Each structure stands twice: as C-alpha cells, then as structure tokens.
Structure 1
Amino acid sequence: MSAPVTDVYAPGTLQEAVDRILRVPDEHRTFAKDAAFAEQTWAIGPALLEALLDHGLPHRGEGEQRRFERTDLHNISTYLNLPSPYFQALTRKARSMDEVARKGEQHLHALELRADCAEPGHTGECTFATIPGLNRHSEPGSLRETAPGVFSVRAQLPSNSLVFDEDRSDLLSLVADWELYVLPDGVIEDEGFSRETRLANCLIPTRLLLREAERRGIRARHGAGLLVAPPYTTLHHWVEFELDGDWVPADPVLLTAFSRWGMTDPADWPYNRSVAGIVWHLLTWPPEVFFPVVRDRGVQAPVHIASR
C-alpha cells in the first residue's frame, strides 16, 4: 500500500507546484486531457491528483468529466520528480552524459524516425525525405529508409568538459536561473512572459542569448536539432559559440534543470559548461519553432523518434 500523499510531500510542496503553473494565464489553457492521461503519461495518480485539485490545479468539469491542460500536467510531474517515462528518460540521459564525459568517449546513438503523412487524404502516395542535415551530421552511410517514412540513422556526438570563459559565462548567466518549462502555445515565443516568470522553453532563452551575444561582439549562432535522450528524442534549440574554428553548444537552462531535478551534480555540470554529447546539430538559424526533420511532399511531416 502506497504512503498517503501528505506523507510523501513536504508541507507547501504541492502548493508550490500549483502556484508555479498558475504563472501561466488561464486563457492559454486547453482543457483536453483526463485523469487517465495524467496517471498513465505523467505518473499523477488519483490521490495525488485530488490533492493537487485541493491546492487549485486548473480544470474544467467535475468527476469523470474533469479535464486538464496538457502542459500543466507535464510541468507538475517534472517539478515533483515523478517517474514518468519522460522524466526517467531524461534521468538516464543525464547520467549517461556524465558517465561518458568522464571517460572522454563519444556518445553513439542509433535512431529510428517514423514519419506520418503530412496531409492525410491527399491524392497519390506520400513521398518522404529527411532534411539534408540528418545525413550531413550522421555517421557516414548510416542513414537508410527501411520502409516508407521509416528511417534509421546513427549519431556520433562528441563529449568534452569545456567550461566557457568569463565573457561567455557572463552572457549565459542572464538565463541561468530560468526554469525549463513546457509552455502552452499562447506563450511559446513570448520572451516577455519568460522574463517576468523565469519560466522558459529552449527557444526563448536561445534567441535572447543570440541577440545579446551580437551586442557584446561574441560570435554565436542558433543551433537546432535533437536532444537525444534514449528512449525518447525531441526537437531542441540551443546557442553555439565559435571557439578556435569549432562551434561549441551551450544550454544553461537545460543544465540548471538537470541540477534542480537531482540528475547531475552542479559542481560537475555548472550552467556554463558545454552540452556537447547531448544535442545533435542538424540546422542553423531555423525559421520555425517546430522545424522539420522529415518532409512529405515538401511539407513538414509529424515524426516520432526513438533512440538507444
């Protein structure tokens, strides 16, 4: 029998979790997820869900008809370190990143990309193609289409222990105390919201750092590609600095999140350390928030990415 919710969480913890998501205005919520989704996807069981409701978790409807905002459930789950598949995957990746970096080895990952039809119902067959960067930055000869819309590829990610110099570290400190947060669509590109709340996705601090780097005369570029965290791999944005002819990735908000979630030791992984080994560069200066990795008939196709 599991312990009561009140025995698991310190006084005020659940209220802090709810107060944090309440920084997002209610107008940006779409109440479409039920209690089963909260439990199966985000490990928020019935007792915990009821306790969160008592602390003011936004919802619509009553009883079995209660519906919740998807990003609220995601963010509460990670804030409470609940063992969702997402959180467990990030934990494994952070630990693997640390282990491989200590050995000085490359990170090697096998990825499978499964694309869906970009425009269901169109005439003719789907024609899937990966973006050029997927082949350009992968292990030579490893990219193969194994079935229509299904691609396998191997990624080689370097590892280093570089801590950036004073100028770049000072730049990165501008967002080092921001909290990594899955934002709803209404504020997904709203820098003003992130400045006010200190809640941010990966895109907003990247754009801010690039603008400030240009003002300070620091050569930087927008890196985009994949955050490789087996078994899940997701789209990601970060900033890169040119050092001795190489582009070196930085992501202070991600490293601060790893530390806050207890996945890494902040003494070993400070906000101003490179994240080489966890991000796979595929694009530079992407125009879209959700940039394409696979296209179908020239249109961005939904894609599911598994990695090991």
Structure 2
Amino acid sequence: MTSDESVAVVVERINRVPDRFRAYTEPQERVTRFYRIPPELLTGLLDHGLPHARDGDRLLFDRRDLKNVVLRLSVRSPQHTALRSMAEALEHGSRHAVVRRTLNVTAGCPAPGHEGDCDVTLAAPVRAAAREITRMAGGHYQIAVEVPGGPAELLDFGPAHWQLVEAAAALEFHRVPYHVIADVGFTAETGLADCRSATRYLVHVGRRLGLDVRPAAGIHLSRPFANTHCWLELRIGGEWRTADPFFNLVLGRWGIVDGAAWPANRVPKGAFWHLTELLEPVMHHGDTILRPSLLVR
C-alpha cells in the first residue's frame, strides 16, 4: 500500500518542474487503463496537488508527470518494468565475457504514399558501431551487437571521484523536460535528473573537481525492449573507463538491484552499447528524425 507520505513526496518533486513545461494531453480514463494508477491513488495525488487541467468535466494530466508517478511509487507499469529489464541486462553482462545481442530497429514511414522508395536509414554512429547490419523489409534493420562483459569490477576512485559520487547521490531520478536537459543550473537547483541531464551535470561537476570525465551515450541492451541511455567515462589509470554512478545509485536506492553489490564505482559491463558522446537520433527518413522501436533478443 502506498503511504500518504510517499505520495506527498512524489507530488512535491513533480511540482519542482515549472508548469510551462507541461502539456495536459492524458485523459483521466487513460490514467487507470494505460498507466495503471488506481482511482484511490489518483485521488491521493490530486489531494496533494498533482498538476492537472480540465476539459469540461474531464481531468487532463501531463504524460511526463504520470510516468514519474508510476516510477516513484512502483506502480506496475511498462515504465517500471523497463527499469527492471535494465537491471537484468546489467546482471547478464556480469556473467559473460562477451555479450552478443541482435537489435531490431524498426520505424514506419512518416509520410506514407510519397513518391519513390522509402529512404529509412540508420544513423552513421549506429552503422559504425555495429558488428553486422541486415536490411529487412521497409524500415526494419537487424543489427548484430557485441560488447565486452565480465565479472564485477570496482573502479579505483580517489577523493575527487567520491566527491563526484556525492553529487550523483544528491540527485533524484526524474523524467525531466527536454528543454532543461542541458541546463545544469536547473539540475543543481531542483535536484531532479534523468540519465541525460545527470550525465551533463556530473561532467560539469567532475571537470570542476579536476577530473578527466566525458559524456557517453548509446543504447542500454535491456530485453526485450532496449532504451537509449547516457553515462560517464572517467580516465583512471591512464585509460577511459565506463562508469554510471548515478544509475547504479538509483537502482540500488529503489531496491531494483542489491545496492551493496552495485556501488557507485562498479563498472556496468555488457549492457551499454556506446555510440556517441551525447544522445543522437538512431534512424532517419531523409531529413526527418525517426523514433524507432528497439527490440533486443
């Protein structure tokens, strides 16, 4: 049973985001059917000030706010299942020296019926990083992916690295508006961040601490549905190493992984397919950016 106190905490965090970033498009009936938020929980959220709008007798909600509710209150939903799948991918990577996956990238034509062949192509970083690419029918590609895995390894952090971990620990995972992803001031002021904004913020903090740190982005090879993801790379012992203190801490704090087994300095092996420094589109149709489905087997 979700406590009234935890509901109040979630709503308070949601309200740290200015209302100008909201779009009230989700009707009340979809809240229960798709987001699986029970009516009694929705009543409690509204009592504590969950932002909403009215269209006649109907209540409308912001999609991002609802996703934050189900994530923070562990409501059984596709959003919460995705986090557990990401944790399973991390555990899988630690059991195999090399992780081989087949990534199916699929998108429909954004302008069906146009003249000529449908020009659906993979972005250059995807093509460069793939071990093998097979063009299927339409906007469907099968990509053979190979990433190094291996047993648990802890990075040798110095005092400045642990200060960076303190900065990561002060952040709360929250789906933030696209407009504030690069705004490190917003992240510092609100303490709210997703993997994209947390990565930018921690790179900013790390460089101020004198660390060699850079952003990394790509695809988290969770099954069956992959997710785009951002993390850090730290130069330690003369080489760049993968690190994800923010996400390790989030998964441990939420009980999705064993926090003792996944401390902030554990290397996330076998789950991240590195493509670029910052998140970029995976697929295009001519000059149009597509948002494909990412299915992993």
- TM-score, normalising length: structure 2: 0.88
Computed over aligned residues only, the root mean square deviation of the Cα atoms, in angstroms, reads 2.5
Q: Aligned letter for 1:233? A: A
Identity %: 31
Displacement of 1:183: 0.9
Match of 2:124 in 1: 132
Match of 1:182 in 2: 175
Instruction: State how far apart, in whole Å, the 1-side matches of 2:4 and 2:39 are.
Output: 19
Match of 1:5 in 2: none
Aligned pair in 2 of structure 1 residues 96, 185: CA closer, same or farther (>3 Å)? closer
Match of 1:265 in 2: 258
Worse-superposed segment, 249-258 or 215-224: 215-224
1:1-308 correspondence runs (5 A): 8-61=1-54, 65-101=58-94, 103-118=95-110, 123-138=115-130, 140-141=131-132, 143-160=133-150, 161-164=152-155, 165-166=157-158, 167-243=160-236, 247-284=240-277, 286=278, 291-308=280-297
Unaligned runs of 5+ in 2: none
Worse-superposed segment, 187-196 or 209-218: 209-218
Report how many aligned residue pairs link the two structures. Answer: 294
Displacement of 1:120: 6.2
- TM-score, normalising length: structure 1: 0.85
Aligned pair in 2 of structure 1 residues 16, 212: CA closer, same or farther (>3 Å)? closer
Task: Give CA deviations for 1:174-205 in whole Å, capped at 9, x if unaligned.
Answer: 22321121112443332222111110122222
Displacement of 1:244: 5.8
Instruction: State how far apart, in whole Å, the 2-side matches of 1:244 and 1:135 are.
Output: 31
Instruction: State how far apart, in whole Å, the 2-side matches of 1:112 and 1:246 are.
Output: 32
Displacement of 1:73: 0.4
Displacement of 1:96: 4.1
Displacement of 1:248: 2.4
Task: Give CA deviations for 1:72-127 in whole Å, capped at 9, x if unaligned.
Answer: 100011101111122113213313422541x3443332221112335667554321
Aligned pair in 2 of structure 1 residues 10, 281: CA closer, same or farther (>3 Å)? same
Displacement of 1:257: 1.4
Q: Is the 8 A contact 2:70 2:79 kept in 1?
A: no
Instruction: State how far apart, in whole Å, the 1-side matches of 2:175 and 2:135 are.
Output: 32
Aligned pair in 2 of structure 1 residues 270, 24: CA closer, same or farther (>3 Å)? same
Q: Is the 8 A contact 1:89 1:231 kept in 2?
A: no
Instruction: State how far apart, in whole Å, the 2-side matches of 1:277 and 1:63 are.
Output: 51
Instruction: State how far apart, in whole Å, the 1-side matches of 2:239 and 2:128 are.
Output: 16
Aligned pair in 2 of structure 1 residues 56, 215: CA closer, same or farther (>3 Å)? closer
Q: Is the 8 A contact 1:35 1:46 kept in 2?
A: no
Aligned pair in 2 of structure 1 residues 82, 235: CA closer, same or farther (>3 Å)? same
Aligned pair in 2 of structure 1 residues 215, 229: CA closer, same or farther (>3 Å)? same
Instruction: State how far apart, in whole Å, the 1-side matches of 2:82 and 2:186 are.
Output: 28
Aligned pair in 2 of structure 1 residues 56, 213: CA closer, same or farther (>3 Å)? closer
Q: Is the 8 A contact 1:294 1:301 kept in 2?
A: yes
Q: Aligned letter for 2:184? A: E
SS where residue 49 of structure 2 aligns?
coil
Q: Is the 8 A contact 2:4 2:44 kept in 1?
A: no
Instruction: State how far apart, in whole Å, the 2-side matches of 1:219 and 1:191 are.
Output: 18
Aligned pair in 2 of structure 1 residues 305, 36: CA closer, same or farther (>3 Å)? farther
Q: Aligned letter for 2:280? A: F
